[in-house]
Structure 1
């Protein structure tokens, strides 16, 4: 028996002649394999609820390994009339998800009949897509945040990742933001009731602070970012090319092993 998996199930060459490789889906180059490691990636996406909606932030960097390759990558985009989706992880898979959502809006959104695809519907759709791909051992290497308005008129914020894991919370972050930004956001919004007393200005100040901390601490982040705000009245505001303000690296001189400070 031939122990090469790509030859299993083929006629024997010594009996039937040389096998024509172009008959095979693999073209004779080996078995079909799936990508198991992202190449060009985006880092954290942050989001939190406030009294009149949901606000999200994501920087504009797409890194090729450790190289800051693309500095104008938008990772927050509008879906339909009143939903924002923010994606971290592999950029090519992010673009594929964006294409899927565009097709979804074309095929299944019927605003003329008063039936809109709102954030919870898009969230459920993405959870099925991500779990389906995971079950095929061909995951989309992303973590996705979906923000908008629920059917009952309350703010909606949900998370789904490459394993199909889903949850909802008043403050969510992906990537390094899950370690560095979540504690800062939960000082302001840790429970659903907290969000009802937080204004848009307060939520925006928290996210600006978080983006600054991430630029200091996350080597795959950038000081240029975008902010998207979804209001309960259905309006969506997207601000681009925002720069972190009052940046200073003077604190680094006190870090052991950096500059004049010795270990």
Structure 2
């Protein structure tokens, strides 16, 4: 089979296999490195820093083309005792990325007998994405270490940017509008949870591929706590 022939399934009118693979959504629209046009489903994930910790939030819908494949997708995953990742993109690739990160973190900390910094974890994530072993995935990494609270926006091609707040997924333009207007570096973790929930709610009202409730994580020196809400309103 030549390299330009893409896998299809079915008979008669053949269907692009990528169109029915469950997705956590494509990266935010635009010329992001590694962007691919065949991933058009969406999601909304956000990350915010505060003085005392980090808040991550995401909707819970996974889609396969125009089908809602799951209403209970976990898009915030703990990868370290004080860090978690939000994921948008191909489901199997995202799961593989998380497994690789967890294994590499354990190996690093066993060899060095010391914790991995958030900067090192962000660079590790970038290296794995640049390796090309994962279909398009765009994580937002958040966590705390000895240097404070950190949120990193990591592009599908491996670019790394540390931000006060970050978004990913097709619903990100709507979520970003809320964060631009309401984010305050001096807010508490509790206040950040409400703003993160509002940001995801705004996206679900306009982005048809985002919805079905909310996952929200708080990350502090005490560790990672992830809660789910069937209805976003219960988190406001």
Offset at 1:108? 1.9
Q: In the TM superposition, what are the counterparts of 1:24-173 in structure 2 within 5 Å? A: 29-31=1-3, 39-42=21-24, 43-110=43-110, 113=113, 115-133=114-132, 140-152=135-147, 154-173=148-167
1:241 equivalent in alignment to 2:223: no
What's the TM-score, normalizing by structure 1? 0.71
More moved, 100-109 vs 34-43: 34-43
Structure 2: gaps (5+ residues):
8-16, 25-42
Offset at 1:177? 3.6
Give, in whole Å, the separation in 2 of the partners of 1:158 and 1:120.
9
- 8 Å Cα contact 1:171/1:186 also seen in 2: no
The residue that corresponds to 2:170 in the other structure is 176
Give, in whole Å, the separation in 2 of the partners of 1:242 and 1:227.
11
Relative contact order, CA 8 A, sep 6+: which one is greater? 2
Give, in whole Å, the separation in 2 of the partners of 1:51 and 1:177.
26
Q: Aligned pair count?
A: 206
What's the TM-score, normalizing by structure 2? 0.79
Give, in whole Å, the separation in 1 of the partners of 2:203 and 2:105.
33
Point out the structure with max Rg over C-alpha. 1
Structure 1: gaps (5+ residues):
1-28, 247-263
The residue that corresponds to 1:198 in the other structure is 187
Offset at 1:139? 5.2
Give, in whole Å, the separation in 1 of the partners of 2:5 and 2:158.
21
